[in-house]
């Protein structure tokens, strides 16, 4: 069947869309990307989203939930229009939504016990009504309901697309938050290991917004970082962040590395007398260091690294990452030295035939497909969940699902 995947990441810069042809059963799937586009949010919408993540009112959240549903529906329909594909031929939409807040660490609630929580905006009822398509959404909460962190979920897709019989691979996604997936050679889904590494683009973007007085929201191509010099003293201080030495399963977000952390980095940079370019360069080098330092938690050697996400477009970050990868220094005072030798180059997933910008959108198309097939897609060995579960909840479209697919299937 044809399925649309919709995703807005931690950077909250727009809606990534992917139209995917999916065939197969169980975990033996064949995927073909038919069309993809990214639809940026207007600057004012992005500002409201970022503000809501830190200081939003209940009224803000209520409004943005529905407004984002409209944005996501428009993005899906515009994708189909640009690809000249009739909506009637598309069976499903899988929408991740926009994460507003993510609290994966257990909190005790009086009279209930331990609670983990996450909140994604982008009302699926609006998406289903505007597009007419059955919409599967709210994927993370089911994993959390069985004791998982609700993230990362995309390692399931990484295994489907990139596992190899003789090479152990890491798939590195550098979105707002960095995360990596370890795919050991000849390993099945149960051997996959994955976790968030810390900041991806979120720190660099935050520093850029500060030093340019909001005129630039990211360091295009890493140009400003390239003009500066990283400050090793500040990097070592930042490497003391407790998330970096926490053992997986672990996930994080703006709650740890958002505006408060950006503000701390800015203040420390000012005390050290860093120029704007030096501060951006320091944030970039720190991001690279945290990613490579996170490989201390991998169970074996790495032969290839496949990179996706917006950070792959930052040439300076990629250069720093390659340097750290080839010569792991373990320079962080409390961050362990990677225990396994790294080999080979860091390559974009485009070298393997996939668009790295929309790979997460592809994942949520797959999760929607697997939901109606009744196939679990969370990996307990990754999220810490007690068991594998079918992810997502369904909002029916205007037309019965069985009329939109090549052969009827049963909801399970």
Tens digit of each residue's pLDDT (9 = 90 or more) over 57-69:
999 999 999 999 9
Q: How many CB atoms lie within 10 A of CB 113?
A: 8
Provide the 8-state DSSP code for 244. Answer: G
Local confidence band at 108 (pLDDT 50, 70, 90 cut-offs) = confident
pLDDT the model gives residue 228: 97
Q: What is the mean pLDDT of residues 111-131?
A: 92
CB 76 within 8 A of CB 131: yes
CA 86-91-93 angle, to 5 degrees, is: 95
pLDDT the model gives residue 407: 42
pLDDT the model gives residue 399: 73
CB 5 within 8 A of CB 18: yes
Q: How many CB atoms lie within 10 A of CB 48?
A: 18
Q: Taking 90 as the threshold, does the pLDDT of residue 400 lie above it?
A: no
pLDDT tens column, 330-381: 444 445 455 455 556 799 999 999 999 999 999 999 999 999 999 999 999 9
pLDDT the model gives residue 249: 94
**At 385, phi and psi to the nearest 5?**
-65, 155
pLDDT the model gives residue 345: 78
CB 10 within 8 A of CB 178: no
Local confidence band at 295 (pLDDT 50, 70, 90 cut-offs) = very high
Across all residues in the chain, what is the average pLDDT?
Answer: 92
pLDDT tens column, 171-199: 999 999 999 999 999 999 999 999 999 99
DSSP code per residue over 136-196: EE--HHHHHHTT------THHHHHHHH--SS--EEEEEESSEEEEEEE-TT--GGG-EEEE
- Single pTM value for the model: 0.91
CB 348 within 8 A of CB 306: yes
Q: How many CB atoms lie within 10 A of CB 396?
A: 13
pLDDT tens column, 236-289: 999 999 999 999 999 999 989 999 999 999 999 999 999 999 999 999 999 999
Cα–Cα distance, 315 to 320 (Å, whole number): 9
pLDDT the model gives residue 131: 97
pLDDT the model gives residue 19: 98
Percentage of the residues of the chain whose pLDDT score is greater than 90: 83
Smallest CA-to-CA distance from 20 within 8, 38, 2 is with: 2
pLDDT the model gives residue 10: 87
Place of tokens 């529905």: 66
Local confidence band at 404 (pLDDT 50, 70, 90 cut-offs) = low
Strands 113-121, 14-25: pairing kind: unpaired
Q: What are the chain's domains?
A: 2-149+360-403 (3.30.420.40), 156-356 (3.30.420.40)
């Amino acid at each position: 069947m044809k399925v649309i995947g919709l995703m807005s990441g931690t950077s909250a810069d727009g809606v990534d869309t992917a139209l995917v042809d999916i065939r197969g059963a169980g975990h033996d799937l064949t995927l073909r990307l038919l069309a993809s586009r990214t639809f940026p949010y207007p600057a004012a919408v992005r500002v409201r989203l970022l503000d809501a993540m830190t200081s939003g009112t209940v009224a803000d959240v209520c409004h943005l939930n529905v407004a984002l549903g409209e944005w996501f529906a428009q993005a899906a329909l515009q994708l189909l229009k640009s690809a000249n594909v009739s909506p009637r031929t598309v069976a499903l939409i899988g929408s991740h939504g926009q994460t507003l807040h993510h609290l994966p660490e257990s909190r005790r609630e009086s009279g209930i016990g331990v609670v983990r929580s996450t909140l994604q905006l982008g009302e699926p009822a609006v998406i289903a009504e505007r597009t007419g398509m059955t919409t599967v959404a709210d994927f993370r909460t089911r994993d959390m309901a069985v004791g998982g962190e609700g993230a990362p979920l995309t390692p399931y897709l990484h295994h489907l697309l990139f596992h190899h019989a003789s090479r152990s691979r890491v798939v590195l996604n550098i979105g707002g938050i960095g995360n990596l997936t370890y795919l050991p050679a000849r390993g099945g889904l149960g051997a996959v290991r994955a976790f968030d590494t810390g900041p991806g683009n979120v720190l660099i973007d935050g520093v850029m917004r500060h030093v340019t007085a909001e005129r630039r929201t990211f360091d295009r191509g890493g140009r400003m970082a390239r003009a500066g010099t990283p400050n090793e003293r500040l990097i070592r201080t930042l490497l003391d962040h407790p998330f970096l030495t926490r053992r997986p399963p672990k996930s994080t977000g703006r709650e740890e590395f958002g505006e408060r952390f950006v503000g701390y980095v800015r203040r420390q940079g000012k005390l050290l007398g860093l120029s704007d370019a030096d501060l951006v360069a320091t944030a970039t080098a720190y991001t690279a260091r945290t990613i490579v330092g996170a490989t201390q938690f991998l169970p074996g050697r790495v032969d290839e690294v496949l990179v996706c996400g917006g950070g792959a477009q930052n040439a300076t970050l990629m250069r720093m990452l390659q340097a750290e990868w080839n010569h792991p220094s373990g320079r962080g005072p409390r961050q362990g030295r990677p225990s396994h030798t790294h080999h080979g180059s860091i390559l974009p997933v485009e070298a393997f035939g996939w668009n790295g910008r929309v790979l997460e959108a592809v994942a949520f198309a797959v999760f929607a497909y697997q939901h109606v097939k009744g196939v679990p897609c969370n990996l307990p060995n990754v999220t810490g969940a007690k068991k594998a579960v079918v992810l997502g909840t369904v909002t029916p479209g205007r037309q019965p699902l069985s009329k939109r697919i090549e052969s009827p299937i049963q909801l399970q």
